[in-house]
Amino acid sequence: MRVVIAEDLALLREGLVQLLTAHDFEVIEAVDNGPAMLRALLTHRPDVAIVDVRLPPTFTDEGLQAAVQARAQVPGLPILVLSQHVEQIYARELLSDQNGGVGYLLKDRVFDVRRFVDMVKQVASGGTVMDPKVISELMIKHDTETSPVHSLTEREREVLGLMAEGRSNAAIAARMFFSEKAVSKHTNSIFSKLGLAASGDDNRRVLAVLAYLNAEAQVPPPRTTAS
């Protein structure tokens, strides 16, 4: 499985290279800035890219910009964001794109190497992986009196976060010590309140929720990154 890595911190970048190589990935290029990342993605068209949000030259949102631009030219290019930050606008645009695998994890909340490797493979195969904290922060942006998200109960928010991780109803039930029937009731209520059609496919359920979160966002076109 061919991988491109975009990370400006040398130790973390090399650590990811060594980790992925040890698990039979082929790291075809590891870069440390936004322009180089975009070039690498378009040149190599990897099976999956692992990217940071804030990269040189400005350390704002170059990683997400480059990811969005790359997917515009290579539809469905699998992208796994691995960052310390949740960037609102471009994150919604990236995550709501229902074409190809996508994920967003927070560096300080990745505790299990084997699970991380599995999540990289899941994104590469077209799946979606999300840190619940990312979903929570994206939801806060829309948690207003006029937003349907405001109508969700605390329990429904918790279920939604687990859904966004790609968990099945059975997995959510085990995590929350509920019956599957109770989880199904919560998920149906969530979809009803958000105006979304329920689906038995975990990945499509996640993407539907993310698409909803993106629906009201005013997303500007990606800024051109100088080469």
Is domain 135-214 given the CATH code 1.10.10.10 in the classification? yes
- Measured CA to CA, the distance from residue 19 to residue 69 in angstroms comes to 27
| pLDDT at 224 (0 to 100) | 38
Better pLDDT: 221 or 9: 9
At residue 55, the 3 state secondary structure works out as coil
Better pLDDT: 222 or 24: 24
| pLDDT at 59 (0 to 100) | 92
pTM check: above 0.75: no
Band (218; pLDDT cuts 50, 70, 90): very low
pLDDT above 80 (res 167): no
Better pLDDT: 199 or 221: 199
169-207 pLDDT, tens digit each: 898 999 899 999 999 898 888 877 777 655 555 555 665
Residue 35 near residue 225 (C-beta atoms within 8 A): yes
The closest alpha carbon to 123, from 178, 65, 77, 54, belongs to 77
The domain made up of 2-130 has a fold known as Rossmann fold (3.40.50)
CATH 3.40.50.2300 occupies which residues in the chain?
2-130
Position of tokens 């400005």? 58
| pLDDT at 213 (0 to 100) | 58
Give residue 27's Cα distance to chain centre: 20
| pLDDT at 147 (0 to 100) | 61
Better pLDDT: 157 or 173: 173
Position of tokens 């691995």? 82
Q: What is the mean pLDDT of residues 66-81?
A: 95
- Measured CA to CA, the distance from residue 127 to residue 49 in angstroms comes to 13
Strand ranges in 76-214 using DSSP code E only, listed in sequence order: 76-83, 100-106, 128-130
| pLDDT at 216 (0 to 100) | 43
CATH 1.10.10.10 occupies which residues in the chain?
135-214
Better pLDDT: 202 or 14: 14
| Dihedral class, residue 33 (left if φ above 0, else alpha if ψ from -120 to 50, else beta) | beta
| pLDDT at 204 (0 to 100) | 55
- Measured CA to CA, the distance from residue 53 to residue 107 in angstroms comes to 11
What is the average pLDDT score of the chain?
82
In the chain, the percentage of residues whose pLDDT exceeds 90 is: 48
